[in-house]
A = this chain, B = another copy of it.
Amino acid sequence: MKLYDLSSGLNPRRVRIFLAEKGVEIPLQEVDMMKGENATPEYLAINPMGTMPALELDDGTILTESIAICRYFESLHPEPNLFGHNPLEQAQIEMWDRRMELDVAVPVMHAFQHSHPFWEGRIPQAKTYGELASDRVRQRMAWLDRELATREYIAVPRYTVADITLQCSLIVAKAIGLRIPEDHTSLTRWFQNVTSRPTARA
């Protein structure tokens, strides 16, 4: 097995933290996006989306999409459980993971792509939309601060894949200037908690 990685990326970090929580080590191969390595015919043959991560199995089969990769490892290494023990818990964790992905990770990435000087001239930007996406992230931070006032973790009373998705999203948010406001004490406590886990720097 081999994982095509992008060390700074939101989605690759989700998989690296997930694997670290499972205690699984596999070889990583960095794909240098700055040098356009993800847009070469070689990499597009691996993942036509041109994104990382991508997992190459020993028989050459490729799996992409961070959550599909994580779920595959959950099947191979069921403990510690990060996707749920029974159908209802699995649905609740998936519900929260989706919310974190579609309502936090996606607007964070869109705020980055459409507002940040890094992407100017690299991709078509729509600045007005970048601002709307940033507003969305701020709204969702306020909502999550209220949600986390009464519980320790996002989906169920333990660390799961839904926490990993939010954690990685807020790391990128911070890097582009969308920091958790100081008065969001519950979200801040949660963020300090999850980022002080031994796996957080995977």
**A interface residue numbers (CB < 8 A to B):** 48-49, 57, 61, 63-65, 67-69, 71-72, 75-76, 87-88, 90-92, 94-95, 98-99, 102-103, 106, 114, 124, 126, 128-129, 132, 143
Contact = CB atoms under 8 A, between A and B. Distances in A.
Query: In the assembly, how many copies of this chain are there?
Result: 2
Nearest to A93: B68
B49 A103 contact: yes
Main secondary structure of the interface of A (DSSP, over half): helix
Contacts of A98: 65, 67-68
Contacts of A126: 126, 128-129, 132
A88 B65 contact: no
5 contacts: A64-B95, A68-B92, A72-B87, A102-B106, A128-B128
Given A126-B128, A126-B132, 10 more contacts: A61-B88, A63-B91, A65-B99, A67-B98, A68-B94, A71-B94, A72-B88, A72-B91, A75-B90, A128-B129
